[in-house]
């Protein structure tokens, strides 16, 4: 599990320079997000990690499922909402979202929150009630900007 967590963190780190399967339906979303990695881990409280459209404007993007760079074809499919992952609407200003394990609730983090979480190589926990990301020891790392 730590390897999968590291892959997700490296993916974000690359985007910052520090850095559910389903077809997309035709939809109008001002800020969409792509379900890039289903962690589905009850211990961490995290279901799926979503990356917002703005994330995919970055360079050197790493696919968290393979730890390899996204191919041009994969990125094109994602950006045209034809990727293999699930698409959801994201609030303005959101960069990354994390669903609460076993629910439809998604907590959204802005660039500041996403940057804070990439500084932690250790797996983080998502508080289902508050949207706070904490270390395993309970140290606060980032607070969600909104919930969907």
Q: Cα(47)–Cα(111) distance, rounded to whole angstroms?
A: 20
Q: Which residue has the higher pLDDT, 3 or 18?
A: 3
Q: Which two tokens stand for residue 78?
A: 């994602």
Read off the pLDDT band of 4 (50, 70, 90): low
Identify the bridge partners of residue 48 per DSSP, sorted by sequence position: 38
Residues whose CB falls within 8 Å of the CB of residue 70, separated by 6 or more in sequence, listed in order = 61, 62, 63, 78
Per the structure, the count of domains in the chain is: 1
pTM for the model stands at: 0.79
Q: Quote the mean pLDDT of the chain.
A: 82
The pLDDT value given to residue 43: 94
For the chain, the straight-line distance linking the first and the last C-alpha, in angstroms and rounded, comes to: 26
**Which of 27, 12, 44 is closest to 122 using CA atoms?**
44
> Is the confidence at residue 79, as pLDDT, over 70?
yes
Range of the domain at 85: 2-147
Q: Which residue has the higher pLDDT, 121 or 98?
A: 98
Average pLDDT over residues 25-46: 82
């Amino acid at each position: 599990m730590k390897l999968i967590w590291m892959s997700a963190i490296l993916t974000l780190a690359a985007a910052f320079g520090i850095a559910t399967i389903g077809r997309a339906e035709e939809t109008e979303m001002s800020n969409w997000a792509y379900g890039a990695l289903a962690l589905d881990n009850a211990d961490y409280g995290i279901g799926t990690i979503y990356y917002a459209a703005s994330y995919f404007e970055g360079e050197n993007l790493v696919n968290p499922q393979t730890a390899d760079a996204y191919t041009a074809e994969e990125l094109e499919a994602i950006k045209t909402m034809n990727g293999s992952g699930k698409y959801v609407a994201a609030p303005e200003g959101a960069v990354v979202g994390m669903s609460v394990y076993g629910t439809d609730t998604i907590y959204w983090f802005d660039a500041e929150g996403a940057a804070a979480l990439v500084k932690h190589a250790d797996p983080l926990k998502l508080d289902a009630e508050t949207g706070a990301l904490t270390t395993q020891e309970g140290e606060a790392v980032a607070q969600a900007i909104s919930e969907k």
